[in-house]
Structure 1
Amino acid sequence: MQKHLRILANIVAFLILLLGTGALLLWFIANTDSSGNSVGVFQPIEKKDAPMPTELHPEVEKAKNELLNRAKEKGISVVITDGHRSIERQNELYEQGRSGKGSVVTNADGGESYHNYGLAIDFALKTNRGDVVWDTTRDGNGNGKADWMEVVSIAKDLGFEWGGDWSSFKDYPHLQMDFGLSIRELQYGKRPKVEKDTNKATTESESS
């Protein structure tokens, strides 16, 4: 009898552990964005009306230009293939490989990408013949290092986060600056601003 009770107790304990693990997994999936970052579900955020950006954030624009210059000094020609992206364009890209033709290029629907807030760029490389390529192993400047990874290294030094480091959906051409803001916070109206006196980006509410 005692043996049967121990077996029953072990089964119950196992089921409780299994249910708890499943619930934790579902919570994690529901509260992470397309790049695998937490959306801060337990942080109370007051929703504010804020206009959607129509261009790159000044700090991102500045870092983008510096990236191009530093890469050029290394003999690498970088092409920016995408910058600020409208909600409509984001929706079009999201449907690619789903309801539309082509392969899936993003897991972010409209309003779920840092591109939509002017905080991200995509890049590619340009060969001497003028071809635009996404070859991550190419060593066009002949220094024994992959040009792509040299660009990534420069970008990280400038404060960009690289999509190739993501664990869930690796986006090798993608570079972004989130200024400590999650997609959820941006959706709720928070925006990074630039201090006029120091030209340094700070996180503030658009309506403050």
Structure 2
Amino acid sequence: MNRRMIKLLLFLVAIGISTILIFRENETKPSKATGIKQDQNVPLPTELHPIVKERSDQLVQQAAKKGIVVLITDGFRSVDEQNTIYEQGRTTEGNIVSNAKGGESYHNYGLAIDFALETPSGNVIWDRQYDGNQNSKADWSEVVKMAKSLGFEWGGDWKDFKDYPHLQMDFGLTIADLQNGQRPDESSNVADTK
């Protein structure tokens, strides 16, 4: 082979390798549409994690024993649902209720719930001072205390953006971990139930 053919062959091999590397890198880059890193081996959840669901049910039951009716108003959210919520107060009407785009919320991974209280007349409220069971303690604070004992983190404890109805279990995983395909084990232990 002459030198010109060898150079052409090396050039084509280099282009082929570059194309493969670029293709592999793009597989794990965030999608502009969803903000989620694409990992074909780990699907996104489609419902609440079993432990989050179990602890949510326990929270409702424990609160009921204290005369407090807790409603789970939101649980798992799809990426599209999260993007719609994120747009509220930005490009659509309403107040800003979330700083998390699709793929940036624990709801998108089945690890978060939102709650409200129900009054005896059937009204759904988010009043953190309401004392429906009349024990001189705000029902909201009682529910948050129960939730924390079940292993939930409360959005009301956050420094930058207080999300009072929000409860989540991260199982030691960050949003970046979840975006990279890590998932909690379905038998993970987050807290001993009381």
Structures share fold, TM-score greater than 0.5: yes
Structure 1 SS opposite 2:77: coil
Q: Distance in 2 between matches of 1:87 and 1:132?
A: 26
Matching residue of 1:32:
none
Residue 55 of structure 2 is aligned to residue 63 of structure 1: yes
Map 1:78-93; keep pairs closer than 5 Å: 78-93=70-85
TM-score (norm 2): 0.76
Q: Distance in 2 between matches of 1:51 and 1:175?
A: 23
Q: Distance in 2 between matches of 1:187 and 1:68?
A: 30
Mark the runs of 5 or more structure 2 residues left unpaired by the alignment.
1-38
Q: Distance in 2 between matches of 1:77 and 1:107?
A: 28
Structure 2 SS opposite 1:189: coil
Map 1:62-141; keep pairs closer than 5 Å: 62-141=54-133
Structure 1 SS opposite 2:55: helix
Structure 2 SS opposite 1:164: helix
TM-score (norm 1): 0.71
8 Å CA contact retained: 1:127, 1:140: yes
Quote how far apart the aligned CAs of 1:193 are: 1.3
Matching residue of 2:137:
145
Q: Percent identity?
A: 61
Matching residue of 1:158:
150
Q: Distance in 1 between matches of 2:75 and 2:141?
A: 20
8 Å CA contact retained: 1:48, 1:190: no
Give CA-to-partner distance per residue, 1:1-33, whole Å, 9 cap, x none.
xxxxxxxxxxxxxxxxxxxxxxxxxxxxxxxxx
Structure 2 SS opposite 1:122: strand
Q: Distance in 1 between matches of 2:96 and 2:182?
A: 29
CA RMSD of aligned residues (A): 1.3
Give CA-to-partner distance per residue, 1:97-138, whole Å, 9 cap, x none.
000110000000000000000000000000000000000000
Count of residue pairs the alignment pairs up: 152
Structure 2 SS opposite 1:81: strand
Quote how far apart the aligned CAs of 1:49 are: 3.2
- Supply the AA of the counterpart residue of 2:102: G
Structure with a larger share of its residues in strand: 1
Q: Distance in 2 between matches of 1:107 and 1:135?
A: 22
Matching residue of 1:30:
none
Map 1:29-48; keep pairs closer than 5 Å: none
Q: State the 4+ residue runs in structure 1 displaced beyond 2 angstroms.
A: none
- Supply the AA of the counterpart residue of 1:93: I
